[in-house]
Structure 1
């Protein structure tokens, strides 16, 4: 019997145990990628893009969220590239299960709605891109999340910043989700705080999430070198380490060193938090 003709099996919810350590591809083998999208043309385009790059290998495809989890369980990809809106379980809903299976999750969607961006990050996604990105940007993002980086499109970064800026002053009574709500009526500001506090650390291959509370870090007068400001500005535009290195004509290791210094000076744990700090204090 054709497995695709059977009723979809709901994804197994994450257990209370710690998630599996994300896979770190060996330098001598391609990055193993699962592509999940319910539109055949889009899915085929992403597969063709990835297969054309010898450093990436598509090991599984899925047309809905439930199938994506089944295929991830069978193939154990390094990276899951998933759409948000799919039949059955959504890309956001399956993100914890994919992370539980050891995959890094890169969400790619036609929509940059705040509720999608914040929901994906709060669920544990390592990155969020829109489908209008250049092909090279998508490839770079796959490589970035595979190596432990977090990648956000400019629109995704703006969504988090806007949600955090909309928070009420201390002591002000809650008034609900103004300007749009998240999934199931969730206040997007709560998702923003969750995204802030769980944004993956990414100056190295660490899979640990930030444990800090939602805070903007030190005052805007923090002293950064000219080069650190250049790196932080490009990081806030959603660039990966590889893209920043190309833009500044330096080695990727140099970019990582600068980011490490920046995170220390800003007293934050991840590049996502650093990007938000830049947009709050310097733009």
Structure 2
């Protein structure tokens, strides 16, 4: 039986290389390739893949949100995250969103093909080093609101702008920022956002 694959990565060279490698396997067939998270669900509806291989960092929806949308709309499609960003927070969030596996892009081709087969079979596949790091680092210390505020603040937006965007008072935004700075052990919101991003909490 041939396993039908959808690839989503915003880097065309990476996407093409993955497609070429996976197409060499006799039981794997790439049926669709997309360059943004927004395109994942429409492509999956059109091409009906068995497994979607998604990057984390993509324009539009990121790979984790695309996973959540895909699993909600087409639960029969399994998801394997294949990313450069091997961060413990990303791993936790991806699994919570419904991904069946999480591997990094420097995984050897044979192991990647095997990971696809295992995810297709309903098994969970996680890069062992990343799994260990995830256990050590623990869950994000940030609340949902602190995460929202920090995500909105990472591009340097003013407090008033963040407040309007998230429909909060400016005082509430300042409180959330202050709390996030304290929890990340940083000196300001830019550093807090950087630490949170490095840990995969945003």
Structure 1 equivalent of residue 128 of structure 2? 154
CA–CA distance in structure 1, aligned partners of residues 18 and 201 of structure 2: 31
Deviations along 1:151-170, whole A, 9 cap, x unmatched?
Answer: 00123202321133998xxx
Q: How many residues align?
A: 152
Q: Is the 8 A contact 2:140 2:201 kept in 1?
A: no
Deviation at 1:149, TM superposition (A): 0.7
Q: Is the 8 A contact 2:88 2:131 kept in 1?
A: no
CA–CA distance in structure 2, aligned partners of residues 176 and 73 of structure 1: 41
Q: Is the 8 A contact 2:89 2:134 kept in 1?
A: no
The structure-2 alpha-carbon separation of the partners of 1:68 and 1:165, relative to structure 1 and needing over 3 Å to count, comes to: closer
Work out whether 1:66 is the aligned partner of 2:38: yes
Find the residue that maps to 2:107 and give its secondary structure.
Answer: coil
Gaps of 5+ in 1: 1-28, 168-173, 188-283
Residue of 53, 63, 84 corresponding to 2:56: 84
Structure 2 equivalent of residue 115 of structure 1? 89
The structure-2 alpha-carbon separation of the partners of 1:151 and 1:178, relative to structure 1 and needing over 3 Å to count, comes to: farther
Deviations along 1:72-125, whole A, 9 cap, x unmatched?
Answer: 111221100010001111001111122131211100111112222222112111
Residue of 66, 69, 76 corresponding to 1:94: 66
Q: Is the 8 A contact 1:118 1:159 kept in 2?
A: no
Structure 1 equivalent of residue 29 of structure 2? 57
Higher helix share: 2
Structure 2 equivalent of residue 138 of structure 1? 112
Find the residue that maps to 1:57 and give its secondary structure.
Answer: strand
Gaps of 5+ in 2: 142-179, 187-194
Q: Is the 8 A contact 1:82 1:106 kept in 2?
A: yes
Find the residue that maps to 2:65 and give its secondary structure.
Answer: helix
Higher strand share: 2
Q: Which runs of 4+ in 1 moved over 6 A?
A: none
CA–CA distance in structure 1, aligned partners of residues 185 and 43 of structure 2: 38
Length-normalised TM-score, structure 2 = 0.68
Q: Is the 8 A contact 1:117 1:159 kept in 2?
A: no
Work out whether 1:163 is the aligned partner of 2:170: no
Bigger shift: residues 48-57 or 110-119: 110-119
